[in-house]
Amino acid sequence: MKLTGTPFLILTIILFVASIGLAMLQWGKGRSGGSRRGRENGRGRAKDSGRGPLRFLAYLCTVLFCQATAVTLVFVLVNNSNLIYDSWGDLLGTGNHVRAVPTPPKDNGLAADSTRAKVIQSFQAVDDNAVPKDVKTTDLKGKLSGVDGEVLVWTPPQYDDPAYKDKTFPVVELLAGFPGSSSTWFGTMEVSKQLAPLMKSGQVAPFILVSPRVTLLGRNTDTGCADVPGKVNADTWLSRDVPQMVLDNFRVDASPDRWALAGYSAGAHCATKLALEHPNRYRAAISMSGYNDPIGESDSLTAKDAHLREISNPLYILTHSEAPPKVALYVTGNKGDGFEDAVALQKAAKAPTTVTPLETTGPHLSVTWKPMVDPSFKWLTGIIPAQH
């Protein structure tokens, strides 16, 4: 049974109600038994006292059962609402989507991907009631990264319009936080639901939205969206395998000027990092409550190694680039939760790099990030306008 969705939620509700019913049944029997004991003789009281430890143990087990079902129900409600874990493997830390860790070939940029052997995929609807039915998913085997994972794709209203049959579309890769599901952007964040009417009215460019799996390793380890020798090629998965699949299956440009990233929390760190590292692949990035220093996510592989921690810091990447990358960044955050890092990037940026910091309020949760979809994608439309 899937971790997310209606069936498991119904099961947890049934178990919770059953646990309460069992507790009430035991309580009722205890009261009636107490009344009878008041009328029993000494022999009966002695007989009942022998059952005392067993009755206490039964009460204790029932109480624990009630607590367990209550906690499980609350967890399922929160998880279904925020789509933090979408599989038992992610929840238990047993999932591993790394098939191999080859040494990636030289990166010649996004345009070079269109010349490689085609990666033709089949797509189907996402098996999750929280995700709109017009979002499709495919299981991709990354040839360069050795990573296997699902990739969710949504095409804008114009994509199937006959008037646009000869048009290509810009692309935004959506990166979830850690832990996080590839469904979160479409479910909890309602990105397609929010943007579809804005695209129809022309306020937002008709972006193809792509949400790849970002949780790749078991044991509750974040990849930091980096290539870590012998561990994982997360960077190559996100910046090379996923884009090539999109190039080979949809009407998109092979120009980095038509590609962008967006992320929240750990995904925001990744969006900024990947954009600055690969200006030959991305023109812009949206960061919501991200961080520069990888230690912002203590479970990140890049936070545990001094060298990786240094070179994976977007501020370090920006200040040590051979030339200022042609990248535009829209970086939002609360004070103490990303805003200071945004300002640091802005101060370090030199043309043609641009950084637009925006101070927000609210907790480090989707209730803060969801309202940012509208303004951030309107900003992005100014950087990557619709192609006419």
Question: Of 55-64, 163-172, 280-289, 335-344, where does mean pLDDT reach its minimum?
Answer: 55-64
pLDDT at 168 over 90: yes
pLDDT at 31 over 90: no
pTM: 0.84
pLDDT at 14 over 70: yes
pLDDT at 387 over 70: no
Return the pLDDT at 356.
98
Pick the CATH number of 86-383 from 3.80.10.10, 3.40.50.720, 3.40.50.1820, 3.40.470.10: 3.40.50.1820
- 241: nearest Cα among 102, 377, 123, 90: 102
Give the integer Cα–Cα distance in Å for 241 and 285: 19
Per-residue pLDDT of 69-116, as tens digits, reads: 888 877 777 766 666 676 666 666 666 789 999 999 999 999 888 788
- 218: nearest Cα among 100, 92, 99: 92
For residue 269, the Cα-to-chain-centroid distance in whole angstroms is 12
Domain boundaries, the chain: 6-79, 86-383
- As a whole number, mean pLDDT of residues 10-29 equals 80
Give the integer Cα–Cα distance in Å for 174 and 211: 5
Per-residue pLDDT of 133-143, as tens digits, reads: 999 999 999 99
More confident residue, 28 or 246: 246
Per-residue pLDDT of 306-341, as tens digits, reads: 999 999 999 999 999 999 999 999 999 999 999 999
